Structure 1
Amino acid sequence: MSISLCMIVKNEEAALPKCLNSVKDFVDEMVVLDTGSSDRTPEVAQQFGAKVHHFQWCNNFSTARNTALKYVTGDWILVLDADETLSPSIVPQMQSVIQSDEYILINLIRQEVGAAQSPYSLVSRLFRNHPEIRFERPYHALVDDSVATLLKKEPHWQVGYLQGVAILHTGYQKGAIAQNNKYAKAQAAMLEFLSTHPNDPYVCSKLGALYVETGNISQGVELLQRGLNQVSGSQNHLNKTRLRGLENQQTIQSEENYEILYELHYHLGIAHNHFKKPQQALAHYQAAIKLPIYPMLKLGAYNNLGNLLKDAGDLNSAKKAYETALKIDPNFATGHYNLGMTLKALGLFTDAIACYQKAIRLNPYYAEAYQNLGVVQLKVGNLQASLTAFKNAILLHEQQNPEEAKRLRQGLYEMGLLK
């Protein structure tokens, strides 16, 4: 079975080489659709052997992606963006699964590198080159709707997913968002879709989350709640149908609804926390973690639930939430840090030290972990280890948060720990 990389790009000459390097030895073909670059993006793609085509941007990601699909010749299609790379460890699984006869679509786990929220997502980026599979929705373009329709007509196909992180995505880091004006582009595309699909749960979830992220929290809550009402109503109707012993075409969609339902609850939790309504936030996080979705996708909800419980003084419950998150992903640096903070509050200083050290091993640039490691080392009398940790924290804060570096240095000076 042959596999084609399919991409749409614009002004990505800096990011594109890393992306294409990650797949060049795996794919049989690279198809790159340029949507109006003013830099050397097309030339960079051609240097890697990509077939470059051109398209006039029309503020609709699905239209562009469907145009790119027309040029693909492989049996399978892998979709990446320029700010994504393929994880080498996932390649053997991919090579195996595309030889299978039963799958039409394989969902992949994407890690949001450096994102403040939702460290993992499930994306429908590996699928057969089938004439009825196409992208829909203007932003966060998906093939899921067309695949669901196809499964009704050709029920012998299956949808699967690969275990382990397949795609590393850096596009949600603050610098990348600001540089590429991502929020504005996303909002324009989704508002256009919302005007003709006012109750679509998916766009309510994505646009509502964007509003919360950008500080328009009341607008965000209204959209998220609207989406939640739609999904809950659809799910209740489906449950009644099943109780009557009937199976209908909604069954396929119901499984997808769980992921949308999770995002709606998760972002409503964030919004209510902004509004200083911890009980409402708690209820939404608890609803989110109960949903039958892939455990790695729940990491953000467990972490935020732990934060709420810790702030409320329920340290043992917070500890349990963080420990659950770390069972899901032992490499979750933020989880180790938060567990360390909880253990410190419980007076379990030796355990807290171990957690901070794990967080630092996973993220050597974790200034807050160094700073709190310094605090706990000081509490247990390890003065030299404390000073070393504080000095590392100051060095990192000087790069990331100069005011905090100044405050920390002044505090240590007043304590007589720095001269």
Structure 2
Amino acid sequence: MMKKNISQCMIVKNEEKNIRRALSWGKDIMCEQIVVDTGSSDRTVEIAREMGAKIFFFPWINDFAAAKNFAIDQAKGDWIAFLDADESFTPEDTKKIPEILEYVGDDVDGLLTGIVDLDENNNITGGGTMIRFFVNRPDLRYVGKIHEHLVRKGESGLHLTDATKQLAFLHTGYQEQEKKDKSKFERNLNIILEILKQEPENCDYLGYLGDTYSGDGKNEEARDAYKKAVAAMPEKLEVYDQRSSYTYTNLLRVSQCLNASEAEVEAIYKEAVEKLPKEPDFDCVMGEWYWRKGQYEKAVQMYELAIAKLETYGTVNRGIITTSMLIQMYECLGEGCRRLGDYQKAVRYCVIVLNTDHKDMNALLTLINCFTESNVSAEEVVQFLGKIYDYSDIKDKVILLRVAMAMGRKDLERMFRGILLPQEREEFDAAMETAQSGAPLS
């Protein structure tokens, strides 16, 4: 197989906080890095030039596709890597990229990769799939003044390779400071409204209008836009119609926020499932809503349905919310089943969580409550937890001892103290005395 040359392209404006990272992650695997500036007033261009990027300028004409296509026109590589300035791959994933491209067939237009949204504390807030690598050919170009997407001219669809299990890039653009950027809100709103003047029944852009209002906290305007988008949708949707999925999901959420009646929310859900039956996010959002309302039986049903769909149909262009909430859903399933008296299922769900993260206090508390309520002896509890926790690890033993103490389970407390070594007991008791005196624990 022949090695493929990759041209990294990006369009930027006032990205001095991100540009260095944006050009660093892939520098060693790119044959060139092309930065198209659309009017920066900060040090973006200066930093990019220092880092060896090829700099071009494109006057901003309220058209993201036009700017991106200009960048592609400058590229010489066999493949294009087109990421935004707030997107990057980890070093581990970056190393995989050349080999993946080397073995891609000649009939492939691009790669589907995963996306992981991070907040300001680097917590995962969402995910999904995107095309960020594609062949450098004249028939592959972006369309859309905003929320642009890649198309193959003269063809109904792209020929893509699913690399979501191998590659996922990190996206920080939805961090809180970005959400507060009013200039971006106004820019996006104006572009979308201009498009809708020409195409008032465009269901995609009506959905984008709803997203824009929702992001600015204007839920009533968002709901109206989403309802118009739903009304303008074709009778039958494509199975991977991610935009329509977003529209229905967000309509459910804003309707819930605006305290719509249960009948209205359930009617939206029913219609969404009829249009896109493989999308787990509808079930996930409904489960979350029922949980907040204390309707645990319905919440459990919805969460179980969401997980079943995710496992059956995968995450390509679907399941963004479900994927990001998976641990929280399993926690709720454990607690929900406990409240409904189904201890066997509750234990199973708690174990799934604890096998992923044995420091998850929600799952551990639910698990011990299940054992308490079903009269499982302390000896059996300790034996069961020994399959999850390492009793030779002081940290694991301390977690369990503290939980037993907090829950008032004196029998468990005695047993967990008993598996501490003498020196460990002394250190634990000293730490607890320090905590009770108000001094910070080391």
Q: TM-score, normalised by structure 2?
A: 0.67
Change (3 A) 1:322 1:268: same
Counterpart position of 2:287 = 306
1:150 is matched with which residue: 136, 147, 154?
154
2:85 aligns to what? 82
Q: How does 1:142-291 map to 2 (within 5 A)?
A: 142-144=149-151, 147=152, 149-151=153-155, 158-164=159-165, 166-179=168-181, 181-233=183-235, 235=236, 255=238, 258-277=241-260, 278-285=262-269, 287-288=271-272
Q: Which residue in the other structure is 2:70 paired with?
A: 67
- Paired with 2:182 and 2:50, the residues of 1 have a C-alpha distance of 24
Q: Which residue number corresponds to residue 416 of structure 2?
A: none
- The within-5 A match list for 1:7-406 is 7-87=10-90, 88-89=92-93, 92=96, 95-97=99-101, 99-114=104-119, 119-144=126-151, 147=152, 149-151=153-155, 158-164=159-165, 166-179=168-181, 181-233=183-235, 235=236, 255=238, 258-277=241-260, 278-285=262-269, 287-288=271-272, 298=279, 300-323=281-304, 325=306, 328=310, 329=323, 332-343=326-337, 345-346=339-340, 384-385=402-403
Distance in 1, matches of 2:124 and 2:206, equals 18
Question: TM (normalized to structure 1)?
Answer: 0.71
Q: Which amino acid aligns with 2:403?
A: A
The change in CA–CA distance for 1:346 and 1:122 in structure 2 (over 3 A counts) is same
- The Cα shift of 1:195 comes to 1.9
User: Using the alignment, how far apart are the partners of 1:25 and 1:286 within structure 2?
Assistant: 50
Return 5+ residue gaps in structure 2 as ranges: 311-322, 373-377, 379-399, 408-435
Check 1:305–1:57 CA distance in 2 against 1; reply closer, same or farther (3 A cut): same
Q: Name the CA distance, whole Å, in 2 between partners of 1:158 and 1:61.
A: 23
Counterpart CA distance in 2 for 1:193 and 1:352 is 47
1:7 partner SS: strand
After superposition, the C-alpha distances for 1:321-343 in whole angstroms (9 at most, x for unaligned) are: 43455564498443344445535
CA distance in 2, matches of 1:151, 1:28: 29
Larger helix proportion of the pair: 1
* Range that drifts further, 277-286 or 49-58: 277-286
Q: Deviations over 1:308-354 (max 9, x none)?
A: 23245442442344345556449844334444553564465866865
- Identity, % of aligned pairs? 23
Partner deviation per Cα, 1:78-104 (whole Å, 9 max, x = no partner): 210111112543763674346411112
Letter in 2 for 1:76: W
Could you say what secondary structure the match of 2:180 adopts? Answer: helix
- Alignment length (residue pairs): 358
Partner SS for 1:309: helix
- Rounded Cα–Cα distance in structure 2 between residues aligned with 1:182 and 1:299: 31
Residues 336, 60 of structure 1: CA spacing in aligned structure 2 closer, same or farther, 3 A cutoff?
A: same
Alignment-mate amino acid for residue 123 of structure 1: M
Q: Is the 8 A contact 2:284 2:302 kept in 1?
A: yes
Residues 350, 366 of structure 2: 8 Å contact kept: no
Q: 1:279 to 1:122 in 2, by over 3 A?
A: farther
Contact 2:126–2:324 under 8 Å retained in 1: no
Secondary structure at 2:138's aligned position in 1?
coil
Contact 2:69 2:142 in 1 (8 A): yes
**Partner amino acid, structure 2, of 1:111:** V
Q: Distance in 1 between the 2:244 and 2:47 partners?
A: 40
SS of aligned partner of 1:20: helix
| Separation of aligned partners in 2, 1:387 and 1:211 | 48
The structure with more radius of gyration = 2
The DSSP-based 3-state class of the residue aligned with 2:17 is coil
Q: How far apart in 2 are the matches of 1:64 and 1:135?
A: 9
The answer as to whether partners of 2:287 and 2:303 remain within 8 angstroms in 1 is: yes
Match of 2:9 among 6, 24, 29: 6
Deviation string 1:396-415 (CA, Å, 9 cap, x unpaired) is xxxxxxxxxxxxxxxxxxxx
User: CA offset at residue 273 of structure 1?
Assistant: 0.9
